[in-house]
Structure 1
Amino acid sequence: MKKLIIASTSTIHGSGYLEYLLPTLTTFFVDVKTVLFIPYARPGGISYNEYTKTAEKAFAKINIGVTGIHQFENPKEAIQKAEAIFTGGGNTFELVNKLYKNDIIYALKQALETGTPYLGTSAGSNICGVNMKNTNDMPIVYPPSFTTLGIIPFNINAHFLDPIKGSKHMGETRETRIKEFHVFNEVAVLGLREGSWLEVFGDNISLKGKHTARLFQQNLEAIELEKGSLKWEAGK
C-alpha cells in the first residue's frame, strides 16, 4: 500500500528545515530507524554531503538517522533495501535527470507502490505526479524524459502563489502558466500552497495543513479543494 507525504515545501516562514512537518513525521515514520535521502535536486547548487547534513539535523530531532543515496555504490539496491525514503527540494530538472541517469526512477516507483514510506518536498513532490511539466524551476539540464513516478494521478505545482491584489508585477501568474499547460495537456494540476501537504495511504489522498488547494483541469474553471480527502469527478 502506498504511504506518502507530498509537501509543497520543506520550510515555512519563521521555522527551521522540516520543522512544521516533524510532528506528522514522528507518526508517519514510526519504527523507522534510518531514512534514505535523495539529495539530487541540490537547492542553490549545494553539495550532496551538505544537503544530507541538513536533512540529518532535522531528522535527529525525532531520533531518525539519515543516509544519502550518493554514499552507496549501488543506488538501486539502496532504494530496494530502504526502510523509508526522503527526496528533498531544489531543481526538478536536475533531480529527474539524475534519477534517469542513475537508472533508479523505476526502482523508486516500485518501492513506493509496494509501501516504502516516502516523504517528498518541493521537487521531491513534483516527481510524484504524472510528469514534471508543472515545476517552477529553470531548465538547467535536459533530462531524458519529463515523465515522472505517476504515484498520484495528477501533477503538483509546489509553492503555489495566488495573485497579490494591487500588485504592479507584470509577469504571468501561476494560474496563467497552468492554463498554458492545459492547451496541450489533459493532466490535472494541483496548486499546493506553502504549509500544506498531501497524505497518501493506498488510493486515498488527503489534503493536510493550513490551506485549501487549487485544482486546475483542462477546459474547466479552477476550483478550491478543502482539507480532507481529495475527491472530484474528472471533467466536472
Structure 2
Amino acid sequence: MSLNLLLLSSSRVAETAFLQHAVDLIQSHLASCFTDNKDHQNKKLVFIPYAGVTISYDEYFEIARRPFAELGYNLSSIHQYTSPQDAILQADVIIIGGGNTFELVNQLYKHELIPLITEQLKSGKPYIGWSAGSNIAAPTIRTTNDMPIVEPASFNALNLLPFQINPHYLEVTIDGHQGETREQRIREFLEINPGQRVVGIPEGTALQLSGSQLKYVGSQAGVIFSSVTGEATKTFITSTTNINFLLDTI
C-alpha cells in the first residue's frame, strides 16, 4: 500500500482567496507524485463537490477549478460524468472539498464510492482534501465539527489512516459561550471510544503522507489527543515533530 495524501484543514485562512494559502503545498505535492512523468500537468484531476449544501455542484466546481487552473492543472468534477465510478477510475488525482461531512459521506455511499476510492488511493493515486475532505481520510467521521443534517448509511469513512482527524481545530475558549470547547468534545469522543487518537489540525495547517512518511505542515501548532495508554493525553505538535508513530496500528 502506497498512500499520497494532502489533508488541508481549510480552504481559506483569514481573508485569503480560496486555497491560496495552500497553492505552493498543492503544487509540490502533485509534482512529487509525478516525478517520473514530464507531462504531469496533463494529468486528470477529478473533484468531488458532494459536501456542498448551500452551493450548487457547478458553482462549487468553478470555485475549486480556478486555483488549480492557475497552477496549470485541468480539473473536472465527478457530477459531470455519467458514471461516478468511471470518473474515479479515470482520475489520476482525486480531490474532495469541504462542506458538510455527513452529506459528503451520504452521497459517497449513495453512489457506492467508498470502497472504490479507498482502493484507488491505496494503490498510490494522489489525493487532496480539505475540511470534510480531510475528515473522511480517518476511519470514521465521528470527530467532524458538522451538524448531522442527513443520516448516511454509515459513519465509516475511507479509513486511510489509523487515527481520527478534527479539521478547523481551535485551541480557544469563547467568553460567554456555555457549550463545550473543541477539546472537551474530543475528550468526550475518547471517553466513549477508548484506545483511539485524534489529531486536531488548525486553519492553515495540513497533514501530508507520502508512502511511509507522515508530516504535519503549518506555522501554527496542531494537537494529538490520545487514550491509547489509558487516560486521555494532549500533545502539541509542530512541523518539526516526528509523527510517524501515528501510522502504527493501535
* Shared fold per TM-score greater than 0.5: yes
| Deviation, structure 1 residue 167 | 2.2
Identity %: 37
Deviates more, 1:210-219 or 1:2-11: 210-219
Q: Secondary structure of 1:4's partner? A: strand
Q: Secondary structure of 2:233's partner? A: coil
Contact 2:187 2:232 in 1 (8 A): no
Map of 1:26 onto structure 2: 27
Map of 1:9 onto structure 2: 10
Tell me: CA distance 1:32–1:150, structure 2 relative to 1, closer, same or farther (3 Å): farther
Deviates more, 1:224-233 or 1:18-27: 224-233
Give yes or no for the alignment of 1:160 onto 2:169: yes
| Deviation, structure 1 residue 232 | 4.2
Show structure 2 runs of 5+ residues with no match.
Answer: 32-39
Give yes or no for the alignment of 1:179 onto 2:192: no
1:180-207 alpha-carbon deviations (Å, 9 max, x no partner): 1112213211011111001101122100
1:50-83 alpha-carbon deviations (Å, 9 max, x no partner): 0000011111110111111011111112111201
Contact 1:17 1:58 in 2 (8 A): yes
Q: 1:54 aligns with which of 63, 67, 90?
A: 63
1:84-126 alpha-carbon deviations (Å, 9 max, x no partner): 1110000000000011110011110011111111100000000
Name the Cα RMSD after superposition: 1.8
Q: 1:38 aligns with which of 38, 48, 56?
A: 48
| Deviation, structure 1 residue 25 | 1.4
Question: What CA distance in whole angstroms lies between the structure 2 residues aligned with 1:38 and 1:20?
Answer: 21
Question: What CA distance in whole angstroms lies between the structure 2 residues aligned with 1:4 and 1:91?
Answer: 20
Question: What CA distance in whole angstroms lies between the structure 1 residues aligned with 2:203 and 2:216?
Answer: 12
Map of 2:243 onto structure 1: 230
Question: What CA distance in whole angstroms lies between the structure 2 residues aligned with 1:155 and 1:64?
Answer: 30
1:128-174 alpha-carbon deviations (Å, 9 max, x no partner): 0010000000100000000111111101100000124x723221101
Count matched residues: 234
Show structure 1 runs of 5+ residues with no match.
Answer: none
Contact 1:32 1:83 in 2 (8 A): no
Map of 2:34 onto structure 1: none
Provide TM-score, normalisation by structure 2.
0.89
Contact 1:130 1:187 in 2 (8 A): no
Counterpart residue type for residue 10 of structure 1: S
